[in-house]
Every structure is written in structure tokens, then in C-alpha cells.
Structure 1
Amino acid sequence: MSEPAPDPRMQSLINRLRPGAVRRVKVTGFDGTDVLVQLVDVEGGATETGRIPRQEASMRRTEHPSELFEVGQEIDAEEIGRWREGRLHLSARACEIPALRSFLLGLERGQVVTGTVSAVHNFGVFVHVDGEPGGLCTGFIRVPDLTWGWISHPSEAVEAGRRITAEVIIAETRSGQVTLSLKALREDPLIRFADQVGRVLTGPIIKIVPFGVFVQLAPEVVGFLHLSELTDEPTGTPDQFVDEGELITVKVAEVDLRLHRVRLGAADGADRTR
């Protein structure tokens, strides 16, 4: 299966979210809602301090981390980096449930997993991944990772209770979640559509935005026609010239596989006004 070039921004995000080393630390106090700690496992007897930000203290909701930790208590925490002051920052929540951490560390980017859709929301889909610790729901699929096609709501792609097979994008110990993709297991439809550059096609307008319209060109292939290609009028909005659902004839100007987008132009001789 052909793959588009990796997005450097996505790769940078993945690198930042990869699990860090686990350190044994002792709670020394609190700074507001942050937990102050001292590393126990420093070689050579040196002393190094660190900080656990409030949002990294626990997956449980609490008013203050003192409800979870006592001064002098030793816990495991995952390194997440060093901030401007040079102090090590750590995540206790990444080590809070050992069985969950072990499960997530066993998943690798690109691995294929199976699971059952737990819930469908407008922002994405939750999935019970096979093998996850009981009582937890670890899988999540973002809307853009559901399908190559155009959907107005995730329920158009999946429904609760459905068994699915998906590819792992990243497993995050700090969030206790594995981000999945359904469309990664299917070939990008633009790969086969790339030879359509220069052709004139007709399709329905499926969405109108202030600066142009989206046109359905083929199954799971949508192109964008800018307002300047839609009309010669110097002012106005697309809905003054076309309606959603209306058939429009356009020319395929560009197919960008890396950004997964199709740029359209006005078809030669087409009427650019109503």
C-alpha cells in the first residue's frame, strides 16, 4: 500500500508524547497545586529535584494533590522533560495504573488492533481495544482518521457496538489512551485519482464556506473550488452564486497527495455566474 510522505508536525507531536523514563521519586512538598519531588534513584548520591504539574498528578479528579500524596511518600513517575528553569518535570498519572501502562507500552505505531466501538460523539469515537485492562476504555479515533470520505458526523462511519480493525497512531501513557485510525488501513483514494489532473468533471456541491465550495468528484474524493474561480464578481459570498447539492462542472487543477487535497479551477467555457 502506498503511503503519503510523513507530516513533520505530526511526527514532532508523536515524539513529544512518547513515553519517557520512569523514575522513583519522593514527595517533598507542594507548590500551589504542583507536587515537589526529589529523585531517589540518582547515581552517585547526588540530589536532584523535580516537579509534577497538577494535571500530571493523577487521572482522578481531585481538588488538590495532597489528597493523593503525602510528604515523604515514594512513587514512580515518568519523565516528560525539563522546563525553562531546568527542573525535571514528571508525570505520576503515567504510572498510576501499572496494568494500563504495561498495555500501552506493548502497542507500537503502525500495529493493527481490533476492538469494539464504545461511544460515538461529534468530536470522535471511543473504542474498547481488545486486551485492555478491564473497566477501562483506551481507544480513541479522531474524526479525520475515520474515513477518507466526507462525513458530517462520525455516526456516518461507525456505530456503537461495531467491531473494528484499526491501526495504532500512538499510545500515550500520560493520557492512558491509544489513538487509532481506521482509514490508515485503506489506500488513499487520491493515489488513484492523481491522474485526473487537467480533466473536466461534474459533481455536486457538498459544502459551502465563505471562501469557496467543496465538490464531490468521486467516491471519497472531494475537491475545493475557491470563490475567485466560482465567479468574476469582485464581492460576494459563494452562496450568492451556487446552492448546496447543485451540480457544478470544474477542472482538476492539482492533486496534492502529501496534504491530501484537490484544488479545482473553473472549467473552460463554464458560466461563472448564475
Structure 2
Amino acid sequence: MMGGPSENPELWAFLESLHCGEFLSGTVTAIERFGVFVALDDGPDHPVFPGVGFISFAELSWQRFEAASDVVQVGQRVSCEFLQFDTWNLEARLSLRATQPDPFQVFADGAAVGQKLHGRVTKLAPFGAFVQVVDGIEGLVHLRELAWTPVETPSDAVQVGDEVTVVVTEIDRERRRLALSRRKGSSEHR
């Protein structure tokens, strides 16, 4: 714990003045294995960390990425949305992705259940296959929806890299999940 308001009065007062949803700009000062530190333009320095602002990996981007350096670089200027005052670490929790439109919601605006889409298989899991239908948007084709005849594993029906035609069966905006079917998209066995 960093101590209460008495030890870092300026920092404490700054953090308490922030409101959820407000935009803060600053400069990326460090990329650590647990997140990214940002020195805020209007904020005081932090007694311990390279910056008062902190972006967790989950809040960096809507897209999947391998390393934080694929999204931001040290020295880069960023504008972020303020999420909360972390009173334990005396830092401002920030979101970079909140400043960009969520591609899933954009996709959902234009998609409908029953719609046919063309996609590429990106990943196989025991329970089904993930198919990328547009850049950054993947849906799950459940094992039972992968083929007309029951298959035991997804690899009996598809391989990573396969181009497939699928039908949207469910769009869950809240959980940002897309369910797809290959059986309904196929013209065999009507």
C-alpha cells in the first residue's frame, strides 16, 4: 500500500478529482509484463511507478495481440478513458480501447441471425471451431454445428485455414459472442 492522502497529498487530490469516463492524455513511459504505464499530462509524478496512469492488457485494444508493443510504444502519445482510482497503488486505471469503437458492436449493427457469411477457420477447440468472419471478429461453430454427420473432434470436419460458409445463429452483444453454424450454411442434404 502506498499510504493515505497525508503521504502523497498532491497525487491523492489529483486522482480523487478524476471522473469515470473522462478522457486523459499522456505519454507511454513503460511497458511491463502486466500492463502499460502512462505519465499523464496534467497529473503529478508517481513516487514509485514510471507513471500515474496504468492500462491493463485487457484495456489496450479490442483486437487480439501478442505483445503490448504491437499496440503502443514507449514515448507514444495516448488519449485514454479514466476507469477508476486504484487507491492501493495510487494510480489511475485507464482504457485505451474505450476510445475506439468496439468492432464487435459495429459488426453486430450490420449483422443478423440467419445471415450467411464467409470466413476462415482460425482455431480448433475440443468443443468446436473458431471462424473469423471479418477482421477482428471471430465466431464459434459448435461441434454439433460443424458438419451434417456428427463428428467427434473439429478436425474431422475442418482444419485451421479452411475457408468456410457459415450462418449466424446468435449475436450476444453483452458478452461479445457470435455463434455460427456450418450445417445451416451448407446446401447439402436439404
The TM tier, using the shorter chain, reads 0.7 to 0.9
Aligned with 1:159 (options 73, 84, 98)? 73
Q: What is the DSSP-based 3-state SS (H/G/I as helix, E as strand, rest coil) of the residue aligned with 2:168? A: strand
Contact 2:81 2:99 in 1 (8 A): yes
Contact 2:45 2:52 in 1 (8 A): no
CA RMSD of aligned residues (A): 2.5
In structure 2, how many angstroms separate the alpha carbons of the residues matched to 1:206 and 1:178?
Answer: 36
5 Å matches for 1:1-274?
Answer: 58-59=1-2, 93-95=3-5, 96-135=7-46, 136=49, 137-194=51-108, 195-197=110-112, 198-231=114-147, 232-236=149-153, 238-239=154-155, 241-268=157-184, 270=186
CA drift of 1:112 comes to: 0.2
Q: Tell me which structure has the larger Cα radius of gyration.
A: 1
Q: What is the DSSP-based 3-state SS (H/G/I as helix, E as strand, rest coil) of the residue aligned with 2:105? A: helix
Distance 1:187 1:267, change over 3 A: farther
Q: TM-score, normalised by structure 2?
A: 0.80
Distance 1:173 1:261, change over 3 A: same
Residues 199-230 of structure 1: CA deviation (Å, up to 9, x unaligned): 11112223333322322222332222222222
Which amino acid in the other structure matches residue 126 of structure 1? F
Contact 1:212 1:227 in 2 (8 A): yes
Residues 98-123 of structure 1: CA deviation (Å, up to 9, x unaligned): 22211211211000001112233454
Residues 207-256 of structure 1: CA deviation (Å, up to 9, x unaligned): 333322322222332222222222444533x3454333332221111222
In structure 1, how many angstroms separate the alpha carbons of the residues matched to 2:4 and 2:124?
Answer: 43
Q: What is the DSSP-based 3-state SS (H/G/I as helix, E as strand, rest coil) of the residue aligned with 1:152? A: coil
Instruction: Among all aligned residue pairs of Structure 1 and Structure 2, give the percentage whose two residues are the same amino acid.
Output: 35
Aligned length: 181
Residues 173-210 of structure 1: CA deviation (Å, up to 9, x unaligned): 22212111112122222333223222111122233333
Q: What residue in structure 2 maps to residue 10 of structure 1?
A: none
Q: What is the DSSP-based 3-state SS (H/G/I as helix, E as strand, rest coil) of the residue aligned with 1:193? A: helix
Residues 20-79 of structure 1: CA deviation (Å, up to 9, x unaligned): xxxxxxxxxxxxxxxxxxxxxxxxxxxxxxxxxxxxxx43xxxxxxxxxxxxxxxxxxxx
Q: What residue in structure 2 maps to residue 27 of structure 1?
A: none
Q: Which runs of 5+ in 1 are unaligned?
A: 1-57, 60-92
Higher RCO (CA 8 Å, separation ≥ 6 residues): 2
Q: What is the DSSP-based 3-state SS (H/G/I as helix, E as strand, rest coil) of the residue aligned with 1:102? A: helix
Q: Which runs of 5+ in 2 are unaligned?
A: none
Which amino acid in the other structure matches residue 165 of structure 1? S
